[in-house]
Amino acid sequence: MLTSAQCRAARALIEWSRDQLADASKVAVRTIVDFERNAREPREVTKDALCRALDAAGVEFIPENGGGAGVRLRK
């Protein structure tokens, strides 16, 4: 499951603006802003769209494994 911190970190890794993520994921910029600010939790289908766009750009999601969920660039 995508967290707001993972979303912010993933964008930073690939140097994407919120507008670029919105274009790639077809998710409204306002939804991304609210999610990243922890103002509201988007539906799972919306988070899936964000994950797919970030994954296609080279982001790898690291699951919660005792050390905390995270992101990294795929080799």
CB 21 within 8 A of CB 45: no
Give the CATH number for residue 39. 1.10.260.40
The angle at the Cα of 41, spanning 25 to 49, to the nearest 5 degrees, equals: 20
The angle at the Cα of 74, spanning 72 to 75, to the nearest 5 degrees, equals: 125
Range of the domain at 48: 4-73
Which DSSP state fits 59? E
Determine the pLDDT at residue 75.
84
Q: Is the pLDDT of residue 54 over 80?
A: yes
For the chain, the domain total comes to 1
- Distance from C-alpha of 25 to C-alpha of 21, rounded to nearest angstrom: 6
Q: Is the pLDDT of residue 66 over 90?
A: no
Query: pTM of the predicted model, to two decimals?
Result: 0.92
- Each residue's pLDDT tens digit, 5-41: 999 999 999 999 999 999 999 999 999 999 999 999 9
> pLDDT-derived band of residue 61, with 50, 70 and 90 as boundaries?
very high
